[in-house]
Structure 1
């Protein structure tokens, strides 16, 4: 039985590889761009820059060099670096100087898509494209399933939404902003509020609180969706009030019909029927008072 000196662990061997290129990489990318220029870069970009530098300086293909090994070397040699993993799973880890202020960090953040361009030849656009392609392959199925599940959930909510349910004809008491909210599902309203970034409150127990001017716009879009989902069978305060208002202001059936085709208001026939019914209701009330 022979006694042999144990080889160095594989990780130590890998870490020591390409030492000359690593020193050049640290000088050009880490010190100059991260520590001096205070840039924010992704670990995927740094790995690709290191691979490109090894290829250019040593003529060796280092594409198998693992990202975690490069991160370990950088963390040991540059304790002033900060590594941040975003909450989004499809966004690569960010690397920047820990002295970078929060405001400066926000200004320097790369594009969320991971496809930002760069002036450095070491950080190639090809790497960004490849990284984006890998991300899409890894997350497309999950994202599709999540969105589809959410759509089915909202579809069920919309099917249970009654629309304007007061006796015909609805009056001003039934077609105001307050009543508009009653025909909009909480899930739909909150989802649109999250999508446009008006709130980050994760709840379906109540309508989220957003600014009043944004609230009116979200409520308007939600009513359009309720009207569209029912193929015009469920009226909303917006579909009736907007159609009636346009008829009174313009008297144009073409404008009302155009808005109807765009999903914003009821059809001309419905608006005409509402106007006639309101006029008859007014005559009845007048006769009763007299």
Structure 2
């Protein structure tokens, strides 16, 4: 047997690998993005940026380079970095300068979904792109205010919506598609049409023109919103017709109650009352004809 000098531990070899790319990575990403620009990035993003930088500069596939080794290396070389693991398990560890204030940290937080879709090409963007990224973060609060204001606008709009105005019990003439549109505010209908990309017509003067099959779906969702916003006090053609149809097809109070809890139709008691009233109305009309 020969006495051989033991090899360096595997971890030390891994840590020393790709030294040239690591230095470039530290200069462009760590110093510029985290320490100078005060950005917040995820460890998954940093690892991917490092892997891509090795590929671009050394032509080597470093996809097996472990994230914990990169973190250990960064922690040793940059003690001013802070590593924070969110409570959600599916959210990757955050990395930022420890001098970053709490308010700035909130403003600079990446997408809360925790998905690692950001490629390293985004991390290597020019300073002008970085400025654009910061502007997007700064406008988040403005976007929130806009949506919040719009929500209260639609809340008032829905409270002013009269609902069905026909006498009780509503008949087939009152629970069709045409009548359904009368209980849906133009603003709500057009908003949903814009959201799903059915139209780009910017108007609140009339209902926007969309395809017939999409029109039925949008009208259905709008009626659910009208019904939900009124806590079931304002019935819609959909809430009554769907509940009555399911009762006649299945006779199941459980199914009707389930649809009611999901906000799609009237309660079982309301449906039963409607069915009884329609039967009585039919008897009255028959007696008059006879």
TM-score bracket for the superposition, by shorter chain length: 0.5 to 0.7
Q: Displacement of 1:107 after TM fit?
A: 31
Deviation at 1:105, TM superposition (A): 35
> How has the CA–CA distance of structure 1 residues 257 and 48 changed in structure 2, closer, same or farther, with 3 Å as cutoff?
closer
- Please say if residues 21 and 53 of structure 1, whose CA atoms lie closer than 8 Å, have aligned partners that are also in contact: yes
Q: Report the equivalent of 1:125.
A: 125
- Using the alignment, how far apart are the partners of 1:68 and 1:135 within structure 2? 32
- Assess, with a 3 A threshold, how the Cα gap between structure 1 residues 274 and 75 changes in structure 2: closer, same or farther: same
Q: Is the Cα–Cα contact under 8 Å of residues 45 and 116 in structure 2 kept in the other structure?
A: no
- Report the Cα distance in structure 2 between the residues aligned to 1:118 and 1:98, rounded to whole angstroms: 23
Q: In terms of mean alpha carbon deviation, does 38-47 or 120-129 score higher?
A: 38-47
* Deviation at residue 139 of structure 1 after TM alignment: 1.1
Stretch of structure 1 that moved more, 129-138 or 223-232: 129-138
SS in 2 for 1:125: coil
The answer to whether the 8 A contact 1:48-1:123 is kept is no
SS at match of 2:8: coil
When the two chains are superposed, the root-mean-square deviation of aligned CA atoms in Å is 15.5
Deviations 1:4-63 (A, max 9, x none): 999999999999999999999999999999999999999999999999999999999999
TM-score (norm 1): 0.59
1:93 offset after TM fit, Å?
Answer: 29
Comparing 174-183 with 33-42, greater Cα deviation is found at: 33-42
In structure 2, the CA distance between the partners of 1:161 and 1:13, relative to structure 1 (3 Å rule), is farther
Report the Cα distance in structure 2 between the residues aligned to 1:140 and 1:43, rounded to whole angstroms.
Answer: 23
Comparing 83-92 and 142-151, the one that deviates more: 83-92
**Structure 1, unaligned stretches of length 5 or more?**
none
Aligned length: 290
Give the 4+ runs in structure 1 shifted more than 4 A: 1-133
State the distance in 2 between where 1:174 and 1:113 align. Answer: 44
The separation in 1 between residues aligned to 2:69 and 2:223, in whole angstroms, is: 53
Report how far residue 247 of structure 1 moved. Answer: 0.1
Q: 1:21 to 1:250 in 2, by over 3 A?
A: closer
User: Runs of 5+ in structure 2 lacking a partner?
Assistant: none
Q: Secondary structure at the match of 2:123?
A: coil
CA distances 1:115-158 after superposition (whole Å, capped 9, x unpaired)? 99688779549999977863453111110111011111111110
| Offset at residue 257 of structure 1 (A) | 0.1
Q: Which moved more, 1:156-165 or 1:185-194?
A: 156-165
Distance 1:195 1:33 in 2: 34
- CA pair 11-191 structure 1, distance change in 2 beyond 3 A: farther
SS at the partner of 1:95? Answer: strand
Q: Compare 18-27 and 258-267 and name the one that shifted more.
A: 18-27
CA positional deviation for 1:163: 1.2
